């Protein structure tokens, strides 16, 4: 079990478009397992490769209560969208920030599985919303980019404050680890 580090806004890698996966095999399958291992303990429902600093067009999602129904989407394409609605979203890469965006609540998606087999699936409600959120990640877009202008500014400000707090906490922890604990150290 390998847990990957989730990168956070404003890391510029979150704004880079993904590249199509051309090679399928054990390395890709291991990466998908790592994505799932990273997603499970977060309480999130989806995770894309760009969120862990990888440029491949891959994401996983699992909306089941016990994380027992993972789904893998490689090189996804949204074929159709219907029934737009306002939905509240959040993101593992932007902790502590949520906002309302318009998403289709019904869609058809085409993707490949870990073996490269093409499949199409009709999804509704949160499944459809999650796919759109993760496809946005693959295109270098964040949900806060879809917020109304002033809400987007507030969300970015809040995300930057949160990122600074995390960085400051990391410095404090590093300082505590590096500080001498006994008088024999100089």
- CA dist list (Å): 113 to 16, 32, 81, 117, 173: 23, 10, 21, 5, 41
Q: Which of 65, 82, 134, 139 is catalytic?
A: 134
| Whole-number pLDDT of residue 168 | 66
**pLDDT, tens digit only, all 186 positions of the chain:** 799 999 999 999 999 999 999 999 999 999 999 999 999 999 999 999 999 999 999 999 999 988 899 999 999 999 999 999 999 999 999 998 999 999 999 999 999 999 999 999 999 999 999 999 999 999 999 999 999 888 888 888 888 887 777 666 655 555 555 544 444 333
Is-catalytic flag, 134? yes
Domains of the chain, each with CATH number or no CATH: 12-176 (3.90.45.10)
């Amino acid at each position: 079990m390998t847990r990957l580090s989730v990168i956070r806004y404003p890391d510029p890698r979150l704004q880079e478009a993904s590249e199509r996966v051309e090679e399928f095999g054990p390395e890709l399958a291991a990466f998908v397992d790592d994505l799932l291992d990273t997603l499970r303990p977060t309480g999130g429902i989806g995770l894309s490769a760009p969120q862990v600093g990888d440029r491949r067009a891959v994401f996983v999602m699992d909306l089941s209560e016990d994380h027992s129904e993972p789904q893998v989407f490689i090189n996804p394409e949204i074929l159709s969208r219907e029934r737009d609605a306002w939905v509240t979203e959040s993101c593992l890469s932007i902790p502590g920030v949520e906002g309302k965006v318009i998403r289709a609540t019904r869609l058809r998606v085409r993707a490949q599985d870990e073996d490269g087999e093409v499949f199409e699936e009709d999804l509704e409600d949160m499944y459809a919303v999650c796919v759109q959120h993760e496809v946005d990640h693959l295109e270098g877009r964040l949900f806060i980019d879809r917020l109304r202008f002033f809400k987007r500014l507030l969300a970015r400000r809040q995300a930057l404050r949160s990122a600074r707090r995390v960085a400051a906490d990391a410095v404090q922890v590093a300082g505590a680890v590096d500080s001498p604990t006994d008088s024999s150290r100089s």
